[in-house]
Structure 1
Amino acid sequence: MRAYSIPSSNRRRKISLILTSAAVGAFILAGCATAPVAEATAGEAVVATAQKPARGPFVSAANPLAVEAGMRVLARGGSAVDAAVAVQAVLGLVEPQSSGLGGGAFMMFYDADSAALTVYDGRETAPASATPELFYENGRPMAFVDAVLSGHSTGAPGVVPMLALAQKQHGALPWSELFGDAEKLAQDGFIVSPRLAGMINGNAPQAKTRWASEYFTKADGTRYVAGDVLKNPAYAETVRILARQGAAGMQTGPLAEAIAAAVAEGPRPGGLTTADIAAYRPVVREAVCGPYKVYVVCVPPPPSSGASILQLLAMGEQTPDLDKGAASPEAWAAFGQLQRLMYADRDRYFGDPAFVSVPVAGLLDPAYVAQRAALAPALRGAAPFGTPPGAPKVGADATREPAGTSHFVVVDAKGNAVSMTTTVESLFGSGRMAGGFFLNNQLTDFSLVPTAADGTPAANAVAAGKRPRSSMSPVIVLDREGHLVGALGSPGGSSILAYNAKALIAALGWGLPLQEAFDLPNLVAKGDGFGADTEGFSAAVRDGMAARGVVLRPNTTETSGLHGGLWRNGQWDGGADTRREGVAHTR
């Protein structure tokens, strides 16, 4: 395996491309900034060209109010990162079941001038007091719901410090001018959407904590329903503090004290302190990129699991059935079997690279990819994990990844782009609140059992200061010269990898319009089962898949919420998953 850079005459592009096939080496022309864009193969839509570069404004997100906030920032001359700050501030208010100021995120940023990609890691960190047995009680692992609702589950919040760093480096407007929409909506009230109302009145225990019940109960004792106006003056004050003080307003002073106090309450108080919150720092990382068809797909490195998507796409390049299209049971069966192999490797090896060696290069090694892909046709039952080059000895994983995440994409007038996946982990996070926002339960993304029976630690075991493994995998797509083609991503817990891969294969491999790609039925194959939007598949496809050992059952994980856009024919082909309430706007 060799690592290359996308060709650039000014040498400012920082995209690390890991080749997964000798054939794709032909498009790497070292030192040449004028390599032609390759023609699309049969069934593929022609996307970006160097002659007409991708430009905004473009925003796709899971709530129209957040999209409007982002578009207003872009209309004032704001950058993609400026708009991302506004989008996140509004999403945390109107879609609190999914993300918020008390959570974390991964951001992929594309700089149009330099064609450089930067990854901002805003994943939360475990407190200094954390031990591998963080979620043990009386010598045994807690019940998962008890772990989620406990103070043990909250890590130092990362999304605000991450956004502050990215905006300092790539913002065009003053930070203080990016919170107006969120403040007004919180102070004056916003209309509760059907999806939020369903979560408020649903069965999630986080919606029934004392904090959530106080917030979601009206004066007459009933809970808010769709169409009601919900006000949050505490949130309005929080964003005023952030506008004045930046990330320091979250990491020090009254807000930090309120977060630590909520975590310290019973039952099962946690150990996150104001010192932990103040010590949090986002990490700037390099993207991991790999070829797929005539494109280059880029994702964050660990602790994100994005490289697993590249592994699946690389295996797919060696699986002819996958190219047969959306109406083919052979294609869907192949997709499911490749997922099993991908997830087996991901679950075994991924964790925080500051604490464990993650064999990303080995997982994308051409010989290893070919070896794994060859297993797919005859695979029955759960896939075994493999041994890629450079793999460390790590124990079995016992991580559970519940629902509660959002994704959005922003492109500004200069062609700078943000692809950002953001979360508080479970629905309404831990159910605890401070400053009008929910606190994350991200630490339950660690393996609840830290060691295997022989004492070998899991790659994703808890440790002080460690970032839990994440399935969040925001995607940026480039052409072979490094120009922006598009961006997308999804929520979905561990199913994010399947959802993003489906969208990439359908749009880039099968040539579907992005909205059609997003709206295809989902198939999630992890372990020994195949969870799916079963009614979305025709009887013929279901029968054909069953004949190949892929028997569908209803998907029990969080549904997809794919958002994004592809630059096609000189305009944005935008998409917003119809399973959510979002929109994609360009004007």
Structure 2
Amino acid sequence: MPLRALLCLVLLFVAVDACAAAPAPVARQPHPPGAAIASGHARATQAGLEMIRAGGNAFDAAVAVSATLAVVEPISSGIGGGGFFLLHDGKTGKDVFLDARETAPASATPAAFLDEKGELDRDRATNGPWSAGIPGLPAALVHLAQKYGRLPLRTTLAPAIRLAREGFEIYPRLEKGYASRRAVMERYRGTRAVFLADGTPPTTGEILKQPELARTIELIAEKGFDGFYRGDTADKLLAAVKEEGGRWRADELTGYRVKEREPLRFRYRDWDVTTAPPPSSGGVALAEMLQMLEGWDLAKLDSAHRHHVVVEAMRRAYRDRTIYLGDPDFVKMPVRRLTSPDYAAGLRAGINPDKATPSALLPGQPAPLEDDETTHFSIIDADGNRVSATQTVNLLYGSGMVAPGTGVLLNNEMDDFALRPGTPNAFGVMGFAANAPEAGKRMLSSMTPSFIESKDRLAVIGAPGGSRIITEVLVGILGYDAGLDAQQVAALPRFHHQWLPDAISSEPGAIDAATVSALQAMGHAVNVAETPWGNLQTVSWDKRANTLEGGSDPRNPVGSAEVLPSGSH
């Protein structure tokens, strides 16, 4: 990598003031010069480009990318899970947030997840049918295609159907993730039929075929919503959950609906930020953190103080996430107050510029790493449409349970509720009454699909990573603000703080030794050299130079970012 690019890569968190050359004085263009897609798997990126070439728009591409990821990234997402889609219509200028988060079945009361001692039953919360919410992703694909796309579902779902039937090459993340979840996954006959079809666990280089999943997606292509939530697929899902001791009802499937919500919007320096509202906690936390940080010129701070103020902003935002946020259809939240510049100014005033603020002294375990769960993709097309989408089954391979006859791997999103108030979930995040489970309620999420736009530049950004998603997106936006390009933003080293546990997590080399020592002297606990996490995917458009670029996280070797110039469709 050239020296200039290396300097750009570390601009945010070492003492380098500027590196990006000023853009050439070219008039800003009204529309992008083509399409750009970045996703966690090259097959998904190509599926999206296939739709653009077929005359589709960014929303058609999103259906194809999403469904393909559901096939080739079962470790991260699937049609048995859910997600959030942030959309921008280039013609009308309208933004909309599609909430396809899973919902709680009526059987999923807090008491159902406690053992005989009244403690959280961790196995029930994360494995098998009790851990699964009613899936939302199939409804999102249908909604997106029918309301915003140009192409029929039989076209946009064709790449996913083809890959499920013909198979794709297993890559190291799938093999490693299966090994870590093998004991759970092999409890269930439907899972064994898919992942032990040849009698042995998945191995890198083998071809994984999922013919039952292909048929399930075909039914969605043929019948839309009814192809999944009614009829043969629904019957098999209900039977599978019952067989393993869970309790779903048919009306909970037929009653599922995608919610269109108003995105959150706020201003950070020269950027208009459009992001995820509740039941995502990401947008609220992002607004708090960026508006707190607006009080400092980060480029002029030394590395230790730069890290310090960013961490203190993270700490305060994650505390509010824990206390206040939940499903807006069930909980009244002070979102306007939490996202206001005045509130951020008040939080900023409480930050000691030279000393860490201790988090509440509550018991907690170090947050597990979330490098492989969840997936994200970003899209821009030549009409100015754009999509930032994050989808998930929660932990590695979700609940571990495939419903026999469907190929559908069920999520384990119930663990994202506060199943036992004050008890951390699998990501080390606590919650209270606002995020307690109720029938039909959507569990709180950290997914943070976002758009940022200035007069000269536009970027679509998002990431997987459990509770660390929000800080990944934060660091990415700070990178764009510092002048980095899309690939440099995707590669930025990461660090994280989530209020509890009271420690800074950092990737290898993300914070140099001298800065670590200075932070410790300020009172911070620093966990250095943790395993790298996340899988950020971003695309951007330089309006002055009229160029598109994509950035795909180098931590994920099967991800890809591609640009398709206008006229090459």
Same fold per TM (> 0.5)?
Answer: yes
* Superposed displacement of residue 416, structure 1: 0.5
Give the aligned partner of residue 393 of structure 2. 424
2:495 to 523, 527, 550: 523
**Any residues of structure 2 matched to 1:467-506 within 5 Å, and which?**
467-479=442-454, 485-506=458-479
Distance of aligned partners of 1:196 and 1:160 in 2 relative to their CA distance in 1, 3 Å threshold: same
- 1:400-450 CA-to-partner distances (Å, cap 9, x unmatched) read 998420000122231201100000111111011121121111111100214
SS at match of 1:185: helix
Distance of aligned partners of 1:357 and 1:241 in 2 relative to their CA distance in 1, 3 Å threshold: same
- Output the amino acid matched with 2:483: G
Structure 2: segments with no counterpart, 5+ residues: 1-16, 424-430, 565-569
Q: For the residues of structure 1 that align with 2:291 and 2:412, how far apart are their CA atoms?
A: 33
Distance of aligned partners of 1:296 and 1:502 in 2 relative to their CA distance in 1, 3 Å threshold: same
Q: For the residues of structure 2 that align with 1:52 and 1:485, how far apart are their CA atoms?
A: 12
- 1:430-484 CA-to-partner distances (Å, cap 9, x unmatched) read 01112112111111110021489xxx9611011111100010110011236xx98
Q: For the residues of structure 2 that align with 1:146 and 1:126, how far apart are their CA atoms?
A: 14
Distance of aligned partners of 1:55 and 1:260 in 2 relative to their CA distance in 1, 3 Å threshold: farther
2:328 to 346, 349, 353: 353
* Superposed displacement of residue 110, structure 1: 0.5
Q: Does 1:575 align with 2:544?
A: no
- 1:44-83 CA-to-partner distances (Å, cap 9, x unmatched) read 7878985343353111000001111111011111111111
- Output the amino acid matched with 1:364: T
- 1:96-144 CA-to-partner distances (Å, cap 9, x unmatched) read 0101101111100001111110110001111133323231233613332
Give the aligned partner of residue 334 of structure 1. 309
Q: For the residues of structure 2 that align with 1:537 and 1:87, how far apart are their CA atoms?
A: 35
- Output the amino acid matched with 1:545: L
Distance of aligned partners of 1:100 and 1:486 in 2 relative to their CA distance in 1, 3 Å threshold: same
SS at match of 1:564: strand
1:439 to 410, 420, 427: 410
1:315 to 289, 292, 312: 292
Give the aligned partner of residue 133 of structure 1. 111
Give the aligned partner of residue 19 of structure 1. none
* Superposed displacement of residue 201, structure 1: 2.4
Distance of aligned partners of 1:150 and 1:318 in 2 relative to their CA distance in 1, 3 Å threshold: same
Structure 1: segments with no counterpart, 5+ residues: 1-40, 386-395
CA RMSD, 1 decimal? 2.8
- 1:546-566 CA-to-partner distances (Å, cap 9, x unmatched) read 343334214769821100112
- Output the amino acid matched with 1:76: A
Distance of aligned partners of 1:545 and 1:290 in 2 relative to their CA distance in 1, 3 Å threshold: same
Give the aligned partner of residue 185 of structure 1. 163
Q: Does 1:552 align with 2:526?
A: yes
Work out whether residues 379 and 539 of structure 2, in 8 Å CA contact, stay in contact via their aligned partners in 1.
Answer: no
Distance of aligned partners of 1:197 and 1:130 in 2 relative to their CA distance in 1, 3 Å threshold: closer
Q: For the residues of structure 1 that align with 2:40 and 2:187, how far apart are their CA atoms?
A: 25
Give the aligned partner of residue 541 of structure 1. 515
Of stretches 132-141 and 331-340 in structure 1, the one that deviates more from structure 2 is: 132-141
- 1:254-287 CA-to-partner distances (Å, cap 9, x unmatched) read 1112222222233xx2222221011001100001
* Superposed displacement of residue 543, structure 1: 3.1
Task: Report the count of equivalent residues.
Answer: 527
Q: Does 1:215 align with 2:188?
A: no
Q: Does 1:511 align with 2:511?
A: no
Q: For the residues of structure 2 that align with 1:436 and 1:142, how far apart are their CA atoms?
A: 30
Distance of aligned partners of 1:97 and 1:123 in 2 relative to their CA distance in 1, 3 Å threshold: same
- Output the amino acid matched with 1:412: D
Work out whether residues 115 and 121 of structure 2, in 8 Å CA contact, stay in contact via their aligned partners in 1.
Answer: no
* Superposed displacement of residue 232, structure 1: 1.0
Q: For the residues of structure 2 that align with 1:462 and 1:58, how far apart are their CA atoms?
A: 39
Give the aligned partner of residue 229 of structure 1. 207
- Output the amino acid matched with 1:541: T
Q: For the residues of structure 2 that align with 1:85 and 1:66, how far apart are their CA atoms?
A: 10
Distance of aligned partners of 1:209 and 1:61 in 2 relative to their CA distance in 1, 3 Å threshold: farther
Q: Does 1:262 align with 2:240?
A: yes
* Superposed displacement of residue 323, structure 1: 3.3
- Output the amino acid matched with 1:249: G
- Output the amino acid matched with 1:255: T
Work out whether residues 63 and 141 of structure 2, in 8 Å CA contact, stay in contact via their aligned partners in 1.
Answer: yes
Give the aligned partner of residue 112 of structure 1. 90
Give the aligned partner of residue 15 of structure 1. none
SS at match of 2:541: strand
* Superposed displacement of residue 154, structure 1: 1.1
Q: For the residues of structure 1 that align with 2:174 and 2:211, how far apart are their CA atoms?
A: 18
Work out whether residues 204 and 427 of structure 1, in 8 Å CA contact, stay in contact via their aligned partners in 2.
Answer: no
Work out whether residues 74 and 409 of structure 2, in 8 Å CA contact, stay in contact via their aligned partners in 1.
Answer: yes
Distance of aligned partners of 1:45 and 1:416 in 2 relative to their CA distance in 1, 3 Å threshold: farther
**Any residues of structure 2 matched to 1:18-167 within 5 Å, and which?**
51-138=29-116, 140-167=118-145
SS at match of 2:205: coil
Work out whether residues 295 and 477 of structure 1, in 8 Å CA contact, stay in contact via their aligned partners in 2.
Answer: yes
